Amino acid sequence: MINVSFYLRRLHSLCGLILLGGVLVEHLLTNASAMGGPEVFNQGLAMMELIPPPIFLTIEICMYAVPILFHAIYGIFIALDAKNNPGAYGYSRNLKFALQRYTAWYLVAFLIWHVGYLRIYLKGLSGVHISYELVQSVLSNPIVFVLYALGMFAAIFHFCNGITTFCMTWGIAKGPRAQCVVDKMAMGLCAMMCLLTLAFMFSYFM
């Protein structure tokens, strides 16, 4: 008998690391171009708009929407089934296991707001072009600034911690020492990506 849960979890793991990890890195690098000023950021967006709309929409659906929906829906099932007990067992991996679930819940709400407002409402329905000036205006609201920063931190931690669990699940990091090395490297990457996020966010007001 086929173990459907086993293969779904493997697909969930691959989807999160490769597809959604790629989306996160692309999103981070695109936004980091804001540190070069309005002209650099807007030129990058203009390059993306050269892609024919039908092709761009297909990419958004196949590479963004479908993977995100699958990872989120199945991730909710996993989170509901998880037993979080960081208070009872204060081990680092146990705390990160709980944080992986907590950040997942926050990301569901964050993505509904972020994608719903910027991509669907402003760009899709209102026809507003995403630009440096628009992002600067949105982030000028202190509440939005904090919520966006928390959303980025949650996505970055979820991805980087996922690297460790991916390597453990797929047998890439075998044994406590290898797993410890991978975990430290992943958390180092997490710290660098979070610092880059703060740098580009504050660059809008410097």
Residue whose pair of structure tokens reads 């804001």 in the numeric block? 34
Question: Which residue in 74, 73, 81 sits closest to 4, CA to CA?
Answer: 74
197 Cβ neighbours under 8 A, 6+ residues apart: 28, 31, 149, 152, 153, 156
Distance in angstroms (rounded) separating the CA atoms of residues 48 and 160: 27
Query: Which one is predicted more confidently, 142 or 78?
Result: 142
Encode pLDDT of 134-153 as tens digits.
999 999 999 999 999 999 99
89: confidence class by pLDDT, cuts 50, 70, 90: very low
For the CA atoms of 136, 19, 97, 152, the dihedral, rounded to the nearest 10 degrees, stands at 0
The identity of residue 109, as a single letter, is A
- CA contacts within 13 A on the Cβ side of 121: 7
Q: Specify the pLDDT at position 43.
A: 93
Q: Residue 45's closest CA among 140, 128, 151, 137?
A: 128
State the residue for tokens 């944080």.
99
Predicted model pTM: 0.90
Q: What angle do CA 144, 149, 152 make, to 5 degrees?
A: 125
**Rounded to whole angstroms, how far apart are CA atoms 6 and 206?**
49
Q: What is the mean pLDDT of residues 35-56?
A: 91
Asked if residue 128 lies in contact with residue 184, where contact means CB atoms within 8 angstroms, the answer is: no
Between 57-61, 84-88, 96-100, 194-198, the lowest mean confidence (pLDDT) is in: 84-88
Q: Give the single-character DSSP code of 85.
A: -
- Torsion angle defined by CA atoms of residues 85, 113, 201 and 161, in that order, rounded to the nearest 10 degrees: 30
- pLDDT for 185 beyond 50: yes
For residues 123-131, give the mean pLDDT: 88
